[in-house]
Structure 1
Amino acid sequence: MPVVLGHDAIGEIVSTKKRVAIDPAISCRQCPVCLAGRPSGCSDYKFLGLTAPGTFASYLTLPAANLHELPDSVDDEAGTVLEPIAVGLHALERISGIVTQDAKVIVIGGGPIGIVVAKLLQLNGFSVQLVEPIKSRRERAELWGVPSLDVTELKSVHSGLERAVAVETSSSKVGAQLAMDWVGTGGVIAAVGAADTPLTFAQAVLKDQTLIGIRGGARRYERAIELVATGSLPVGELVSHRDSIMNLESIIIETNANPLNVFRTVLYH
């Protein structure tokens, strides 16, 4: 079914002229799961640009709870990067609830979410390496102060005594398998990317592994705004292209033709 695309965005409330960041994950906030503080598990969960009309529209009607006022210290472009940060905060929260900072961590995939997750873990005392096959993305991670390496440089299995964690953000079958293989016995796999990979529990059972799923970043936007406002995260380094939404068709064609040249594009209405 056709849907208006777009989900990471900022906008202006028509009646008040306030500048707000838009949380694209919409939940009912009334069901038992929502009331228990887990809106990403809502049975009526919708995501702008995928299962609900997205932010490429000129106007949207949204729940007030999905709008977060932006301070002057967060510019428009930085406001469009809050969703990956909120997802990263969700991942940090879940991982910190399972392992200590002594754990060795790899983040698989050097896209915006992968780099943000790695940096947030690093800022919270974890030893982190980002695994990414594309050199330009490894270089971008280095701009964030995140150590990175090619998959060929990674030991096939973690061999230390400390517990290992692999955060999979690439949504690839190769990445998912690498995560399960590398953490070894007693390891933790945090799935942020939704790889369409057939999963058997044999490996997880025989190696006593823990698998956790990370869906969205609901309830974490205020903290994300604070991190950007204080300069803790160099979000400008995540944007590679800027253009008018009037050029959307040509931008999509160019991105599909040369995906390695585009990291993250910000479109202006």
Structure 2
Amino acid sequence: MNPLELCMAAGHLVLAVSAIGHIQHNKHKRSVYGVSYDTVLLTVVSQLCSVISTLNYYHNNTVKVQYQHRFPIHPIPGISKSVLALDCALVVLSWCLLWQLCISYSRTRSVEQGFSGICLGLLAAFSMLVGYVGLQTVTVSSIVALDVVDAIWLVGKVCGTVRLVPQVLTNWMATSVVGFHSYWLQLEWIALGVLLVGKSLLSRDYQWYAIPVNFVPWTWLGFGSIAVAVITIQKLWVYRGRKGSLDLYYKDGPWLP
């Protein structure tokens, strides 16, 4: 494993540890108060898109043939198996978080917590793209599988890039930062730092097709760093010590902030 792949895998491992901590935090408090539903949904879609697009680039012969026809002088982009394995683990962990939000502790959410129309629209578009890929694998279709897989990749990266924006807004509406476990900020900064180090190892003459398709892009790191910086300011200065000002959606909810 080269240093670039090692950094990427380490960053994803830290994110997995943070997700486990988040699940345990919610379980311990028996509450999801302060957690953005949209952030969790965007995270699930982002990671699932990454896994699907990576597996298609690695296993789908139709995608490989179409890629070779379109870019005959470029080799097919590789994948990082270690990052793929961690992404699969992150998908499972994110689904566990989603289960806590929607099923286990749904009665502890505030009046401002829930899925927005924008995120539900993204989920609908994601479902249609996945359906197209499935259709391509079992029937002869005019759909270009490579374009569909690339679209899935793009949807995943866009969702991953903006995933923390809804959490910033949720904190602002609740005037508190109570939805995270104690070490969430530290782990997010560590993950971003390791991933930034990995990306910086790319030399200027590094060709785009030589970068594994399941590595995070610069936009993901840039927007993620800005969002985490804003949440850091919210937690340490703006809303420091505050418990939350929003009413529970269900008045008989078992937990109050």
TM-score bracket, normalised by the shorter chain, equals: under 0.3
Higher-strand-fraction structure = 1
Higher relative CO (CA 8 A, sep ≥ 6), structure 1 or 2?
2
Query: What TM-score, normalized by structure 1, do the two folds share?
Result: 0.23
TM-score, length of structure 2 as denominator length: 0.24
Q: Which has the higher helix share?
A: 2
